[in-house]
Structure 1
């Protein structure tokens, strides 16, 4: 659960930085989004390659989980 929360926080921070919006709707992240996210992790967050890959893989699961949790509210 800790990795999920960390990935979610980092993804939100990336979206805020990239799109200047607190949230955007993503049903399934495309290659461009994931590549830009990995690049952002390596540059802005100064993550090494392995950390960026793990976070990138975790971010593929976030949109579906966040959209489901919003429906429950």
Structure 2
């Protein structure tokens, strides 16, 4: 199953004999996209996804408060 991250991070190998990408890689990727879209169209739901980086909301709030007060960066 594909996630939006998979689509964003997808890259294809360029060919050496002609301009463009390896057709098989592109076709395989598009097959996965089609399977994923069909799954969603039939009522499937995506599973939970891991965040890229942990969120530090307390640290973010402290940095925002310091910025609003005009405090220098530590």
Judge same fold: TM > 0.5, yes or no.
Answer: no
More helix by percentage: 1
Structure (1 or 2) with the larger CA radius of gyration: 2
| TM-score, with length taken from structure 1 | 0.29
Higher relative contact order (CA 8 A, sep 6+): 1
TM-score (norm 2): 0.29
